[in-house]
């Protein structure tokens, strides 16, 4: 005849591992955020490196950009804006978008 298998442990129905210290779910202490540093007006008005000024997208170019899959749309936007900045194009049109696509496809 087989003996019934007995469970090992403390026998009180709770997991032995839960007896000890803090759980991995315990909240961590939160450090205060540092205060923002003041920025001088000349630094605040300076364009970002390589930005070459703001680029304006035409409505048609924006609609065309939305046809590009979301997972590559950001890269297409950045590449087109970089292409326009290198050529001092202020307004990005559909032609600029296609020219940038052809340029970076090489």
Residues contacting 42, CB < 8 A, separation 6+: none
Tell the residue number behind the tokens 């090992």, with chain if given: 8
| pLDDT one digit per residue (tens) for the chain, 106 residues | 666 666 665 555 555 555 555 556 666 667 777 777 776 555 444 444 445 567 899 999 999 999 999 999 999 999 999 999 999 999 999 999 999 999 999 8
Q: What is the pLDDT of residues 70-82, one digit of tens each?
A: 999 999 999 999 9
Which superfamily does 49-105 belong to? Proto-chlorophyllide reductase 57 kD subunit B (1.10.8.550)
Residues contacting 80, CB < 8 A, separation 6+: 65, 92, 96, 97, 100, 101
Q: What is the pLDDT of residues 85-101, one digit of tens each?
A: 999 999 999 999 999 99
CA distance 68 to 28: 42
By DSSP bridging, strand 91-92 and strand 56-57 are: parallel
- Backbone dihedral region for residue 53 (phi beyond 0: left; psi -120 to 50: alpha; all else: beta): left
Tokens linked to 54? 């703001």
Domain ranges of the chain: 49-105
- The pTM of the full predicted model, rounded to 2 decimals, is 0.51
- Residues across the chain: 106
CA distance 84 to 86: 5
């Amino acid at each position: 005849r087989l003996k019934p298998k007995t469970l090992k442990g403390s026998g009180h129905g709770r997991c032995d591992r839960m007896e000890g210290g803090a759980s991995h779910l315990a909240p961590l202490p939160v450090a205060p955020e540092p205060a923002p540093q003041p920025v001088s007006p000349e630094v605040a008005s300076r364009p970002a490196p390589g930005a070459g000024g703001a680029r304006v997208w035409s409505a048609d170019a924006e609609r065309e950009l939305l046809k590009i899959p979301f997972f590559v749309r950001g890269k297409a936007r950045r590449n087109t804006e970089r292409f326009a900045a290198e050529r001092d194009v202020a307004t990005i049109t559909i032609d600029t978008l296609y020219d940038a696509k052809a340029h970076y496809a090489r």
